Amino acid sequence: MSVQNVVLGQLVRRRGYGYELRDRLRELFSDVLGLSDTAVYPALEALERKGLIVEVEREPARREERWSNPRVVYEATPEGRSHFRRWMAEPARKAPLREELHMKLMIAEPEDVPALIEALRKVEDECRAQLRKIIEHPLDADRNPRAQTPAFGPTLVQDGVISHLQTTMEWAQRSRSALLQHSERSTAGAAAGARRNRP
């Protein structure tokens, strides 16, 4: 996901400052989608360097917040608005499949099978936990009724996240079962070979 474009989109809607943008993104994305709180400030710096946003106001740091920085309010430039609209019109890129577990499965040796079975079990458990979390706390649960975003987005994204988690969990179960069968065949084959080699 292009964090810069997401931050830019929030500034196209209305101006804002770092901390407030972080809260808006947290409300919008929940923690289910894994958008880091710390991603906002580097995105703002990059957008400003590119001329897509501009500083419109700077409030001095408050006395009671001794270590705080000044509050800098940004808004999208006309070029930033055009850039955002072009990004929205582009086809979405599919991230390449480079999960670490997939790579491990591709290069695994027979002695790695027990560890891979356990890793697949953990994937199943993580998917179950995330499914429970999103079902118990839907993406639009904290939605501000006055929010300026359409209500259909969170519903569609939640459906996609649930489908992805369910599919991943099913894949992990099938893969674990296949590895268990492979391990059992290998063990049975090794035992038969040992019997044949006895004097």
pLDDT of residue 48 exceeding 70, the answer is yes
Same domain? For 125 and 53 the reply is no
Q: Which two tokens stand for residue 189?
A: 């084959």
44-48, 66-70, 161-165, 180-184, range with the lowest pLDDT: 66-70
In a domain, 95, yes or no: no
Task: Give the pLDDT band (50/70/90) at residue 2.
Answer: confident
CATH number reported for the structural domain that contains residue 18 in this entry: 1.10.10.10
- Of 89, 115, 132, which marks where a domain is finished? 89
Query: Phi/psi at 176 (nearest 5 deg)?
Result: -65, -45
In a domain, 148, yes or no: yes
Q: Which long-range contacts (CB under 8 A, 24 or more apart) does 81-90 make?
A: 81/12, 83/8, 83/52, 84/5, 84/8, 84/9, 84/12, 84/52, 87/2, 87/5, 87/8, 88/9
Distance between CA atoms of 183 and 111, rounded to whole angstroms? 9
Q: Which of 7-11, 26-30, 91-95, 150-154 has the highest mean pLDDT?
A: 7-11
41-50, 62-71, 121-130, range with the lowest pLDDT: 62-71
Task: Give the pLDDT band (50/70/90) at residue 86.
Answer: very high
In a domain, 25, yes or no: yes
18-27, 31-40, 138-147, range with the lowest pLDDT: 138-147
In a domain, 186, yes or no: yes
- Of 60, 89, 118, which marks where a domain is finished? 89
Helix (H) or strand (E) holding 85: helix 78-89
Distance between CA atoms of 14 and 22, rounded to whole angstroms? 14
Q: Are 53 and 11 in contact (CB under 8 A)?
A: yes
Same domain? For 109 and 65 the reply is no
Structural domain count of the chain: 2
Does pTM surpass 0.75?
A: no
Q: What is the mean pLDDT of the chain?
A: 84
pLDDT of residue 1 exceeding 70, the answer is no
Same domain? For 82 and 114 the reply is no
Q: Which two tokens stand for residue 92?
A: 């979405």
Look at the block and give the residue holding tokens 């079975």.
Answer: 117
Task: Summarize pLDDT for 116-136 with one digit per residue, the tens.
Answer: 999 999 999 999 998 998 888
**Can you give the C-alpha Rg of the chain in angstroms?**
25
Helix (H) or strand (E) holding 71: strand 71-76
Same domain? For 85 and 104 the reply is no
Reduced to 3 states (helix: H, G, I; strand: E, B; else coil), residue 151 is coil
In a domain, 94, yes or no: no
For 13, the domain range is 3-89
